[in-house]
Amino acid sequence: MRRNIQAVLLLSVAILLLLMGCEGKGRPTKDERDTSPKDISLDNKVVTLTFWRNSGNKAENYAYESLILEFMEKHPNIRIDMMPFPYADYDTKLRTAVATGNPPDIMAIDAPSLASYAQAGALMPLTEHYRTDGNLHDIPTSTMEGYTYRNDIYLAPLTESSIAMFYNIKMFEKAGLSLPSSDPNEAWTWEQVLEAATKINDPDEGVYGIDPAQGFQNAGATAYFKYPIIWQFGGDVMNEEGTSARGALDSPETKQALTFYSELFTKHKVAAFEYPLDAFPNRKLGITIDGTWTLAHIAENYPEFKLGVDFGVAPLPKGTRQAVANGSWALGISAKTEFANEAWTFVNWMTSYEGLMIYSRITGDIPVRYSVAKQFEKLNEYPLNIFVVQNQKYGRPRPITPIFPQMAEAVKDLFEDVTLQQRNVDDAVEEAIIRIDKAYVDSQRLSLQ
């Protein structure tokens, strides 16, 4: 009876995929087929693994359910007991479970949280597993850097999200501007963007030149949208070890980035402190930095605002180099699990070629594996190819540090201080460094107690 139900569910997945029109480009090559993990030998005993994750949207939830169903068909000796939790509660529940010594066998963790879990000894290193049958060659090195702490890999990634520059074609044409290149490797400089924003800007008509980083949001959004600006100018937020902001946040390049950003609002006045709701599709904003999700939002809510006619997409601007933040939710294995090999079998299959083909077909997300991304025509065509190539070639992990929340909050406040409060950049940076470095020292002191 169970197999009949599973067959019906799998058939439903197939029907959904056809309706979504997300067919692959063709059969994978032998090298691509080899990215699926090798099965391990299990005895007849059924092992049950607990798996915690944050509850996502309908497509994400359906993808996980479908993958688990298929995995258990392939591995009848392993049962996956998945427990999704509301996003707002998830991290607190997971940290509590870890602290009380009762964590799940497998857990979903957001990339910026990696270091705190790894430092606490909560995660099993995956380095040797990846070297043996994780097919590391199929994932960008910069992507895996975001899941590595002190030379060990701790998380297995599934997908990426990314941001790019959206621009109003008709505003550009009216201002006599050339359109930006759609080539992911030919980004405009920030100076070119400033020139365009200045010509488009028309405060009397309620038209703004640019929203450079989705306004002033929470610390997480700051990290995703504003750190790339620092990197693009050649600066950084913390040292490579993730122990101090000294020498990085106070570098001339970082201060140049902060100054440029703040002057978009204060000197050039091409950016606003507040924007009307959906200013870009409502034709009140010439340029905005936004993510892949915006394409679906515009198509669903503003169908008359058409890609290629009313707006276009270009790679993120650059200073001295191109850069975009990478890293998303990934799967880790508890250091306390009694079933390490079985847990790796599950995690490796979920993040393999086969698993990611299923996941990406259902969700439409950008897969981390080169081999999977190649199989979807839409990901290799404009505009989605911009997001894909940027992540593969110019992606950078957000600072890998056990004090990421405290650091992110300090950097958020730094951007607000130099822009909203118009504080002296040197003073604001020094204050942020003191906060960040103190947070790290305090965290080490607590870990020794």
pLDDT over 60 (residue 25): no
- Same domain, residue pair 167 and 307: yes
pLDDT at 6: 40
Could you tell me if residue 380 is inside a domain?
no
pLDDT over 80 (residue 259): yes
- Same domain, residue pair 143 and 240: no
- Same domain, residue pair 202 and 244: yes
pLDDT at 449: 59
- Same domain, residue pair 177 and 288: yes
Could you tell me if residue 364 is inside a domain?
yes
pLDDT at 217: 81
Could you tell me if residue 386 is inside a domain?
no
pLDDT over 90 (residue 215): no
Mean pLDDT, the chain, integer:
91
Could you tell me if residue 343 is inside a domain?
yes
Q: What is the pLDDT of residues 352-405, one digit of tens each?
A: 999 999 999 999 999 999 999 999 999 999 999 999 999 999 999 999 999 999
Q: What is the pLDDT of residues 289-308, one digit of tens each?
A: 999 999 999 999 999 999 99
- Same domain, residue pair 110 and 191: no
Number of domains in the chain: 2
- Same domain, residue pair 290 and 407: yes
- Same domain, residue pair 302 and 443: yes
- Same domain, residue pair 152 and 116: yes
pLDDT over 70 (residue 232): yes
pLDDT at 221: 79
pTM: 0.88
pLDDT at 448: 59
pLDDT at 34: 44
Q: What is the CATH number of the domain that holds 77?
A: 3.40.190.10
Among residues 314, 349, 368, which one ends one of the domains? 368
Could you tell me if residue 254 is inside a domain?
yes
Could you tell me if residue 385 is inside a domain?
no
pLDDT at 220: 76
Cβ-based burial of 239 (10 A; exposed 0-12, middle 13-18, buried ≥19): middle
- Same domain, residue pair 139 and 182: no
pLDDT over 90 (residue 280): yes
Could you tell me if residue 392 is inside a domain?
no
Please give the average per-residue pLDDT across 94-119, as a whole number: 97
**pLDDT cut 70: percent of the chain above it:** 90
- Same domain, residue pair 102 and 148: yes
Q: Which residue has the higher pLDDT, 215 or 229?
A: 229
The parent domain of residue 443 ranges over: 163-325+400-448
pLDDT at 295: 96
pLDDT at 43: 56
pLDDT over 90 (residue 345): yes
Q: What is the pLDDT of residues 26-62, one digit of tens each?
A: 444 444 444 444 444 445 799 999 999 999 899 999 9
Please give the average per-residue pLDDT across 88-103, as a whole number: 96
- Same domain, residue pair 292 and 319: yes
Could you tell me if residue 393 is inside a domain?
no
- Same domain, residue pair 421 and 275: yes
Return phi, psi of residue 212, to 5°.
-75, -15
